[in-house]
A = this chain, B = another copy of it.
Amino acid sequence: MITFDSAFDIVLSYVKPLTAEVVDLYSALGRVLAEPIVSDMDMPPFDKSAVDGYACRKSDMANLLEVLEVIAAGQVPTKNIGENQCTKIMTGAMLPVGADCVLMVEDTEQVGCKHIKYKSTSVKNNICLLGEDVREKDVVITPGVVIQPQHIAVFAALGYAQVKVFRKPVVAILSTGDELVEPSQKPGVGQIRNSNGHQLVAQVIRAGGIPNYMGIVEDTERATFDAIKKALESSDILLLTGGVSMGDFDFVPSVLIRCGVELLFDSVAVQPGKPTTFGKTDQGKLVFGLPGNPVSSFTQFELLVRPAMHSMMGGLAKLSVEKRTLAVDYHRKRTDRLAFIPIVLTESGEVNLAEYHGSAHIFSLPNAHGIMAVPLGVSDLKKGDKVDVRSI
């Protein structure tokens, strides 16, 4: 049994970055950027008005001003501003030569049909200066970020109609266990429906991968061998669910070895998820044997598989962890594993325990906001203690 941190480091040490591909802007949403985004121009590209108003010389702002012309956004001024002159200008439009401020239209009054007068004493310039945000050739966004709408705005502004992102990892999911039937079937005596496999498919999608659900494999060495071989051929990562605890029918590890998988650990000091198994092939494919209990499988996917996927895609490996305040006391007997406990947040963001009957309790997670870490060797946490919480 190795510590969770060792397991994490081993997994990450075998991650190989995926290749990149070019996609259109909207397909890039939620994916990891694989190229630096470089500005092809100064931004703003010209001195522009920040408001709707009248562009003039600051020294004239107290005077009656003659209106020379009206400049819409996108139009180019045709007249320079001289003493006691101004040009009506829209938000985003180019400042005429000679002007050094824009008077907000709300703060002016019309005098006759050709003049205006400023009513305020504010001396704000209301000008966005050429290049004040970004200079040509500046790197504006670096590779590795997960692309959100606010990045799309920058890509569009800088002329990127397509961007380079990391390829999505293909993740095969193979469920083992003769007690499993698919959701559309009514379980017979002693059977249960396959929830883990479908949960993993959804986790793969949420983590940005392409799932390849291979169904429930018959509990024989031959069928398992064939299914694993096939899965490894067509995927970057293989997830096996069930079949890696200490049961008599758990021949999966030996089959993995026959399939060319080097097993690197098969037991982690973590709860839930102790029998989590990890290996890799000579081709750099990663294989995870996840526990059969749904909460264990869910948790180990989030803690180990998702970071590996993100790392392959050039993103940050670790789930973000937040320090939060515990709202209740917590106690456990055995302290030989790092534990992750489903929690709910109070309105003020403090941590309460979620209803949780153990790692088979599939109904716990849908009502939980996150999981709280209880470190190795720690039996008691007190109300008011700071704890590490991961969103789920």
Give, as a whole number of angstroms, the nearest-CB distance from A75 to chain B. Answer: 6
Provide the bound-state CA to CA distance between A182 and B249, in Å: 61
Taking a contact as CB atoms closer than 8 A, the residue among B105, B152, B159 that contacts A186 in the complex is B159
**Cβ of A205 under 8 Å from chain B:** yes
Docked complex: A178-216 residues within 8 A CB-CB of B: 178-180, 182-187, 189-203, 205-206, 211
Minimum CB distance partner of A157 in chain B: B195
Interface residues on A, range: 35 or more
**Cβ of A154 under 8 Å from chain B:** yes
Give, as a whole number of angstroms, the nearest-CB distance from A213 to chain B. Answer: 9
**Cβ of A331 under 8 Å from chain B:** no
Minimum CB distance partner of A189 in chain B: B76
Instruction: Given the known inter-chain contacts A73-B177, A74-B177, please indicate yes or no for A183 contacting B25, CB distance below 8 A.
Output: yes
**Cβ of A106 under 8 Å from chain B:** yes
Provide the bound-state CA to CA distance between A73 and B178, in Å: 6
Give, as a whole number of angstroms, the nearest-CB distance from A148 to chain B. Answer: 7
Q: Is the interface of A mostly helix, strand, loop or mixed?
A: loop
Docked complex: A51-95 residues within 8 A CB-CB of B: 52, 70, 72-76, 88, 90-94
Taking a contact as CB atoms closer than 8 A, the residue among B92, B93, B183 that contacts A159 in the complex is B183
Copies assembled: 2
Chain B residues, Cβ within 8 Å of A362: 43, 133, 153-154, 157
Cross-chain contact A52 with B150 (CB below 8 angstroms): no
Cross-chain contact A148 with B178 (CB below 8 angstroms): no
Chain B residues, Cβ within 8 Å of A194: 156
Cross-chain contact A348 with B363 (CB below 8 angstroms): no
Chain B residues, Cβ within 8 Å of A200: 149
Give, as a whole number of angstroms, the nearest-CB distance from A47 to chain B. Answer: 11
Provide the bound-state CA to CA distance between A182 and B45, in Å: 15
Taking a contact as CB atoms closer than 8 A, the residue among B132, B294, B349 that contacts A153 in the complex is B294
Provide the bound-state CA to CA distance between A361 and B131, in Å: 11
Chain B residues, Cβ within 8 Å of A29: 202, 205-206
A interface residue numbers (CB < 8 A to B): 25-26, 29-30, 40-41, 43-46, 48, 50, 52, 70, 72-76, 88, 90-94, 105-106, 128, 132-134, 140-141, 145, 148-161, 177-180, 182-187, 189-203, 205-206, 211, 219, 242, 245-250, 292-294, 298, 322-323, 348-349, 357-358, 360-363, 365-366, 368, 392
